[in-house]
Structure 1
């Protein structure tokens, strides 16, 4: 009997890189560090696209964006100590956004543990509550086992980030160990009884509504939900920063359940007698500060669908809890049959009319640049264009007035992390160079990770950044004027010439100060074929689509009088 051939000896770093390639990894992001030089050397012999970034938070956010777009773990490498703590911002985004991601962190040698060696950190303790799983590899022979488990943990159930610490001596250690097979995440399918109960609830309803959110979606699943909405004449809303989950130009789309929500949509959600929450958690923002429904009894017939059983009943106790991934649930909807006659005739049409009224008749804002007009220009971009943003009041205009019409066209952090939009756009354009990618950023938001514009220039990644400059941390100023009217402190910014900033890096920069200048400037940015910044100067009074700083201050002073 022939004995199996023993695998050729390899370094831990080579074993690690081979495991990534076996799982289909084509791209990784990172900032180099001496703690994982062996991995960099192993990557040099492969076709893996290692994108060198300028700061670890940007690198981690790029990896998170890839995970969000593809449903497979985005990969990031950073060095120990400050490299890891810088990357924690991206890990937090992945955790709150339910995004598969694996962060590899260089670590001190095993023999130095416990001495507070140079940049020593206990990563299991630091990331234990921030990541879905944090682990340190103790021997090279276990690398295939741990990498396989990491991919599975990152993708299965509720997706999330995994942090893996790599001691330097483990990466150089020689081991003879076979590769693990590539990981395919398990799907959790709804039971037939669950779907029959859902059908009975729909037949008994008079004002049903559906809210889509979370992760584990794909284009096929969205198509199934669209057919379901059409067969049941059902209004469908998207959760906070998940607007790409249902086409905004479809007659069933009722708007987004996020910040700056349409008051008529809030009223409709409260009036509904059946609410189907599919994929999302109905967290603080979509629940309007946990005020939309009661806790733990929501006071409405609630159907909650989620891939993680621990999320079912965590806050709201549903009438029907369905433990299923979003894509599996969407497929099962094909078998749910509508009643002979729809009891909620006109309900969907009214929801659609409310949405169009909210988004097609924008109020004007102070100043020569109208934010609603600016955002509406973005609707003319190709249907599969990817719009990215970080955090700030500027994003309220994007969410309200843009039309996300296809899956995979929105990259935005439900965690509310500033600095996300630019790294996300760079990652998206690198992964899909044939698609149009635009980052909409605020001035404070941009400079959190603006140095990654250098990464775009270095790799020739022609993203366009629409940079909204109002000279302040606008969201915080808004809250400040509401709580401490007229007492402005700590929120004013002195900004550079952002168009000149772009040119200094070797990109294209142009400044916009009026409505009429925006579209020609945007066209010029695309035509340049370079990474570009369209620097838009916005009147500071234009704080939201529905109020100004002065109005907010006056109302606050009157309320406190």
Structure 2
């Protein structure tokens, strides 16, 4: 058989890969497709610089890339084929958009000469992804490959971070790709306006009940620590926005908890009573503002200082007393220069409220998820990465797990089921030296459970705890609340496999756990397998009766 001749050194495909390398991309998550074979061939020559992780579904690949972007601050790169490949990957693009995560989705595309004919798997990606991505485009001139990819990287990283989609017509990829990249992209970052900083200083000195809310993406660990130190010295309560708990160590003496789903009622009361709210990076959307009920517009116009890298987020919902476009880390560093000449006692009181709220609660069944999650606090090292998707199981995780280090939480503010397990695999690829634990619901896990094959194939030994209560818990809870009566339950019951045997079928380790008391040993067995290089699964049998912390199905029915 005659082997195909190698590509010329300056094709569009090779220029694309060169641009990724120059910009520090060291991993690509993909499902291969014939529409971008030329790019795959170019990647074959740089295996020592870019690891290609082959996934079993485009949703898994996109979620891994999103997790990579969250952990590294660099764009996570996902490559998929046209049509169904791209639409499968749309879930990861949506999460990257909602979570402000830098990401590049490269989509193999039909030949440019066939566009508009309704060709096999033809999709207009500008139209499909226009509302999901920061920028969706298609390469139309191979000589502009470097320009388009560099613009994509800059767009993903500048302002409010987010996803970019670039379609690659297959007939252009082996044409002349134009000049090589000259240097890495250096994204522009806006500093905090000194006049705004001075205004914040005046308001802070007058405030009696200040509250600092941190959120968003693009933080450096150094800036997050510096802001936490500053707030701790002053005694200002600090809250994380929805699923941003890891920005401030939860054992800080002024940490107040997170503003999210199932929020501490005392934190809600504290936020409403605050006479100064400084929000850095947080968008203050639906979940952190409790369905837009946490504040009222007249109140925020007097007390809200909103600092955000995206100008479109300022004044989007809430009028402000002061607002400024600023990079999150630069804004945080500027705030630490303020010396209000006083301190507050609010931080200590707020932390005491958080500790009480995050103490395990009793349940009716044999497995107390609150106690199991609390055990993770003592069993796992501080730098362990914890991931989750969406479902009522996550309420137990977010309430009772206490993050002690930055970049240890991977959780979709988009509320995407199936996110946690591929995110864990992506995290292990980034940090092979750290423990990575995914907590997943049964319905949540089975949306991307086939990625066990990816974890085994690429030797990425994560641990996944599958909380199996035989139901889509969140929907079941709302169903019981709004349409009470067991005979009316429909579409939420689940018939699950034996997850231990499922894991073993892939070559992973599995252990079953049916009581709270057995959980520490089951977890340790799974961790030991992972330390030995084998992905591991804990099948944790829960009771749907304990539908949420402090809530039961019987109670929802008025029983």
Q: Same fold (TM over 0.5)?
A: yes
Deviations 1:383-441 (A, max 9, x none): 10000000001111111111111111000000000000000000101111100100000
Matched residues in 1 for 2:346 and 2:110: separation?
61
Under a length normalisation based on structure 1, what TM-score does the superposition of the two structures give? 0.96
Q: Could you tell me which residue of structure 1 aligns to residue 40 of structure 2?
A: 40
Q: Could you tell me which residue of structure 2 aligns to residue 16 of structure 1?
A: 16
Quote the offset at 1:177 in angstroms.
1.8
Contact 2:232 2:252 in 1 (8 A): no
Q: Does 1:327 align with 2:325?
A: no
Matched residues in 2 for 1:30 and 1:216: separation?
24
Three-state SS of the structure 1 residue aligned to 2:510 is strand
Q: Does 1:208 align with 2:196?
A: no
Contact 1:296 1:315 in 2 (8 A): no
Matched residues in 2 for 1:218 and 1:462: separation?
27
Three-state SS of the structure 2 residue aligned to 1:313 is coil
Q: Could you tell me which residue of structure 2 aligns to residue 432 of structure 1?
A: 431
Gaps of 5+ in 2: 1-7
Contact 2:301 2:321 in 1 (8 A): no
Of 140, 156, 159, which aligns to 2:158? 156
Matched residues in 1 for 2:261 and 2:420: separation?
17
Q: Could you tell me which residue of structure 1 aligns to residue 228 of structure 2?
A: 226
Contact 1:217 1:326 in 2 (8 A): yes
Contact 1:9 1:175 in 2 (8 A): no
Three-state SS of the structure 2 residue aligned to 1:304 is strand
Q: 4+ residue stretches of structure 1 with deviation over 2 A?
A: 295-300
Matched residues in 2 for 1:145 and 1:383: separation?
41
Matched residues in 1 for 2:302 and 2:453: separation?
51
Which moves more between the two structures, 9-18 or 258-267? 9-18
Contact 1:64 1:100 in 2 (8 A): yes
Q: Could you tell me which residue of structure 1 aligns to residue 189 of structure 2?
A: 187
Contact 2:250 2:402 in 1 (8 A): yes
Contact 2:12 2:178 in 1 (8 A): no
CA pair 296-16 structure 1, distance change in 2 beyond 3 A: farther
Under a length normalisation based on structure 2, what TM-score does the superposition of the two structures give? 0.96
Deviations 1:298-319 (A, max 9, x none): 3641000100111111110110
Quote the offset at 1:363 in angstroms.
1.7
Q: Could you tell me which residue of structure 2 aligns to residue 491 of structure 1?
A: 492
Q: Could you tell me which residue of structure 2 aligns to residue 3 of structure 1?
A: none
Matched residues in 2 for 1:162 and 1:296: separation?
37
Gaps of 5+ in 1: 1-7, 556-561
Matched residues in 1 for 2:303 and 2:143: separation?
52
Matched residues in 1 for 2:112 and 2:138: separation?
10
Q: Could you tell me which residue of structure 1 aligns to residue 62 of structure 2?
A: 60
Quote the offset at 1:9 in angstroms.
5.6
Q: Could you tell me which residue of structure 1 aligns to residue 295 of structure 2?
A: 293
Q: Could you tell me which residue of structure 1 aligns to residue 505 of structure 2?
A: 504
Matched residues in 2 for 1:169 and 1:499: separation?
46
Three-state SS of the structure 1 residue aligned to 2:425 is helix
Quote the offset at 1:179 in angstroms.
1.9
Matched residues in 2 for 1:531 and 1:503: separation?
10
- RMSD across aligned C-alpha pairs, in angstroms? 1.1
Contact 1:359 1:400 in 2 (8 A): yes
Three-state SS of the structure 2 residue aligned to 1:171 is coil
Contact 1:209 1:236 in 2 (8 A): yes
Quote the offset at 1:187 in angstroms.
1.2
Q: Does 1:383 align with 2:387?
A: no
Matched residues in 2 for 1:437 and 1:507: separation?
15
Q: Could you tell me which residue of structure 2 aligns to residue 363 of structure 1?
A: 361
Which moves more between the two structures, 127-136 or 362-371? 362-371
Matched residues in 2 for 1:299 and 1:178: separation?
50
